[in-house]
Amino acid sequence: MNQTNAQTRPSDLLGRIRMADFALVETILYLDAYPDNPQALAFYRNLVSERNRMVDQYEKTVGPLTATGNRGNASWDWVKTPWPWELAANN
């Protein structure tokens, strides 16, 4: 999953964020059953870090991915950019 760069299209980046989200859900379910597995814990931490990095890149390029990603101090940017599900934001 570590393939993002400055030339990554927003739609490709959003797809990788969605894949990371899916993998996180599955990893969390595994950790619920095996909470002391060091490999799973390391995988989880790495995946969270990678997802956060991709979200940060997406938000710097396109705008907030969720309302909690608002970066503006003087303005509510969430409503000023295309939302992630709008095609204009991800082409």
Q: What is the pLDDT of residues 37-86, one digit of tens each?
A: 999 999 999 999 999 999 999 988 888 888 787 777 778 877 777 777 77
- Could you give the CA distance from residue 2 to residue 16 in angstroms, rounded to a whole number? 9
Residue 82 covered by a domain? yes
Task: Report CA-CA distances (Å) from 33 to 19, 22, 30, 42, 53.
Answer: 22, 17, 5, 16, 27
Residue 63 covered by a domain? yes
- Could you give the CA distance from residue 17 to residue 80 in angstroms, rounded to a whole number? 22
- Could you give the CA distance from residue 73 to residue 39 in angstroms, rounded to a whole number? 39
Residue 45 domain boundaries: 10-89
The answer to whether 4 and 13 have CB atoms below 8 angstroms apart is yes
Exposure string of 34-65, with b = 16+ CB inside 10 Å and e = fewer, is eeeeeebeebbeebeebbeebbebbbeebbbb
Residue 58 covered by a domain? yes
Residue 72 covered by a domain? yes
How many structural domains comprise the chain?
1
Residue 4 covered by a domain? no
Instruction: Assign 23 a pLDDT band (cuts: 50, 70, 90).
Output: very high
Residue 2 covered by a domain? no
